[in-house]
Amino acid sequence: MTRIKTIIIIIVTTMISACSEQPDCCDNVISNGYQAKLIDSNGINLLDPESPGAIDISKIQQYIVENGNTRMVDNTVQGYIADNPYGVKPIMIEEEHAVHFSFLYHGDDTETISIIRWNEEKTNTIICKFNIPGYPSYLTQVSQSPDVWHLEEENDPITITLKY
C-alpha cells in the first residue's frame, strides 16, 4: 500500500511540474492584435458589404516582417489554433463593420511591421510596438504615419481607423 502511494505521489508531482513549465518554443512568441476600420475619403466604411467599393473581407491578407523577411500571417504554425488562422477576422464595433488582425511574432524586437493587403490595389503598412522584447509581451502602440494609436490599458484592444 505504501509503495502504491509513493508511485501515485511521484506521478502527480511530475504532472504538476510538467504543466507549470512553459515549453521552449514559446519563449520568443508575441501574440497580439488590433482592430481596424477602413473608410474612404468620403467617410464610407469600405468593410461594409453594402457600401459602394466595399472590400471583400474574406480576401484580406496580413503579412508580418520578421528578421527582414516578409511572411503571410499563419497562426496555425506550431500547433497554434485560432478562430482566425490567417489573422483576419470580421467583427462589429459600435454597429460598424471592422476587422480584427492578430498574429504570432517570433523574435526579440519590440517593433515590427504589419502589412495589410485589402485587395489587389489597396495596401496599408502598420508599425506595431510592444511593451518589452520576448515573451510575454503585449501591443502598446500601432501607427501609420502620421497617425499613432496607443493602448490605454493592458489587454484593451487598439482600434484604428485607416483612410484610403
pLDDT tens across 136-159, in order? 667 788 888 888 888 765 555 677
Q: Say how many domains are in the chain.
A: 1
Average pLDDT over every residue of 79-103:
81
Determine contact, residues 73/62, Cβ cutoff 8 Å. Answer: yes
157 domain-assigned: yes
111 domain-assigned: yes
- Grid cell at residue 47: 468593410
3 domain-assigned: no
12 domain-assigned: no
Q: Which of 8-17, 81-90, 146-155 has the highest mean pLDDT?
A: 81-90
Q: Which helix (H) or strand (E) holds 5?
A: helix 2-20
> Does 22 have pLDDT greater than 70?
no
Q: Residue 139's domain spans which residues?
A: 24-163
127 domain-assigned: yes
109 domain-assigned: yes
54 domain-assigned: yes
**How many Å apart are CA 23 and CA 77, to the nearest integer?**
15
Average pLDDT over every residue of 119-137:
80
132 domain-assigned: yes
Residue 110 CB neighbour total at 10 angstroms: 16
